[in-house]
Amino acid sequence: MRQVELGRSGVRVSEWALGTMTFGNQTPEDDAHRQMDMALEAGVTLWDCAEMYPVNPVTKETAGRSEEFLGRWFAARGRRAEVVLATKVCGPNNAIRGAQGFGDGTVKAACEASLKRLRTDVIDLYQLHWPARSHYHFRRNWSYDPSSQDKAANLSVMDDVLGQLSDLRAEGKIREFGLSNETAWGTVRWIDRAEALGAPVVRTVQNEYSLLARLYDTDLAEVAVNEGVTLLAFSPLGAGLLTGKYLDGALPPASRKALNGDLGGRASPRVDGAVAAYHGVAREAGMDPVHMALAWHRTRPFPSIPIFGATSANQLSRILAGLETSVGPDLAKRIDEVNRAHPLPY
């Protein structure tokens, strides 16, 4: 598999990434370990986790279980050095620490707890799961209101976190730093403050990005190109919508939609029409729509690594079968036409 660089870090990873947010809830440990075997055999070396995983639902009792599954796999297989390991610390208002934010050494303590669960000495990419301030992702864009933000307070949080990250890097516990659910303003400010303080700089931003969710195409794309930031695209299959498994009112048992209803606001009245249109384009191209949706990331004018997740090894087999799929200029044009006809369907 082609290797790409995380930002300007010098760290090279596979151009696709394995997501693990179902490990420990929808995905039992034996299946999770099989998925990790399959991913590494296919050359997928970037694996993403978080201290709060698994999801569907997120609970204090299950938080950390996904990291534990990874840790036991590393201990059993002895192949930690072959994986570029990413995980995340929760922002405020989370199931683990409640309203507590990133201050008072929270980032350092959370990192050390993750290291123990993961059974490793170092996390290759340590990410903030979401900002201490609000973010449009959690409002599905339509009710986002930043008017009450305090710039000085936001910058103070950044400086505190960067100090903790500097300590962790000096102790050899993290290598690189990334963001998640972040904005253009936030990303640039994190970069500015890191440069001013000599702290770890931003290498990646993990935001939702897919055929159905293309907000990143504007301001953040410009930031990515000019500042050397790689997008780690979560939900590249639109939380499963782009597989087509929910079309015509279908509701597979134990699926994400069966567990949480509207897929976090994604199951909108307009989304089925968009999914059907993309499936039509894939049929015309003689291509699996899952493979098309993931391969499309290679066409972007900025670096984008899709993070795919699967609840079972069988689902992962379908995904991995499309690793060599490519989207040519004509197909990319057809995809853009569908996007214009079905913009922001959720």
Q: Among all residues, which ones are annotated catalytic? A: 53
Rounded-to-integer distance, Cα 114 and Cα 122, Å: 10
Q: Which residues of 121-159 are buried (b: 16+ CB within 10 A; e: fewer)?
A: ebbbbbbbbbbbbebebeeeeeeeeeeeeeeeeeeebbe
Structure-token match 């690189």, residue found? 176
Nearest to 103 by CA among 159, 51, 41: 159
Token pair of 19 as six digits? 């997501």
CA distances in angstroms from 75 to 35, 81, 121, 283, listed in the order given: 16, 12, 12, 43
- Give yes or no for a contact between 281 and 331, defined as CB atoms under 8 angstroms apart: yes
Which residues are 306's β-sheet partners? 233
Nearest to 155 by CA among 195, 186, 110, 109: 186
- Give yes or no for a contact between 107 and 113, defined as CB atoms under 8 angstroms apart: no
Token pair of 101 as six digits? 């934010």
HEC assignment per residue over 292-315: HHHHHHHHCCCCEEEEECCCCHHH
- Give yes or no for a contact between 332 and 44, defined as CB atoms under 8 angstroms apart: no
Rounded-to-integer distance, Cα 53 and Cα 23, Å: 8
